[in-house]
Amino acid sequence: MGTANFVLFGVCAFFALAGAVTTVAAQRPLRAAVALLVNIISLAGLYLTLSAHLLAAIQLLVYAGAVVVLFIFVIMLIGPAAEVKGKGEGLPGRTLAIAIMTMVTGTIAFSLVDAAGNWLALRSNPDFGTVEALGAELYSRALVPFEIVSITLLVAIVGAVAIARHRTEGEITEAKAVHAKAVEVREEAKAEAEAAAKATA
């Protein structure tokens, strides 16, 4: 790794960590979204140090250019009135959260150490980081996880639309009319049943 790559890696790593911590610790949602943007741009820089130029471009286009903008739009539409002040979870809750995050971080760290040797071997491949190599890896050995993630995202999108969708005025009026018609039919059936019971008596 050259001097320029080392400096870029150090700067991007610092801002990635700072952005991640600020995203979690920020009290205001808009500041958290801006910190997330900083984290995403820093991760794109880290991808550049790994010679993964396609992933860096996708990181900027998809996450910085679409996801973060969507978050900011939602935050601005909801407004500051929807902001909920956090409540203290107490010592047991914080201890459990720290323990879980420590285990997750340790697992990721050990996985990265195990993958370091494979990464050094891949760096010698001239096709490393290209569209062809990524496509071959994604649609061969990583095909099943890729499809599972796609289905999960689709379910999340459908659930978000179903939860966030509000009825229009026309739909509300139509629903009220259907309900009134159902009540009318029920009353008529009840009256006919009572009339038939009296006639047979």
One DSSP character per residue, the chain reads --HHHHHHHHHHHHHHHHHHHHHHH-SSHHHHHHHHHHHHHHHHHHHHHTT-HHHHHHIIIIIIIIIHHHHHHHHHHH-GGG-------HHHHHHHHHHHHHHHHHHHHHHHHHHHHHHHHHHTSTTTTSHHHHHHHHTTTTHHHHHHHHHHHHHHHHHHHHHH----HHHHHHHHHHHHHHHHHHHHHHHHHHHHHHHH-
Indicate the pTM of the whole model: 0.52
Q: Which of 34-38, 90-94, 179-183 has the lowest mean pLDDT?
A: 90-94
Ordered structural domains, the chain, with CATH: 1-80 (1.20.120.1200)
Percent of all residues in the chain with a pLDDT value above 90, rounded to a whole number:
5
Whether the predicted pLDDT of 102 surpasses 70: yes
Whether the predicted pLDDT of 81 surpasses 60: no
pLDDT averaged over every residue in the chain: 78
Is 142 or 189 the better-scoring residue by pLDDT?
189
pLDDT one-digit tens code per residue, 28-79: 888 888 899 999 999 988 888 887 788 888 888 888 887 888 788 777 777 6
Whether the predicted pLDDT of 88 surpasses 60: no
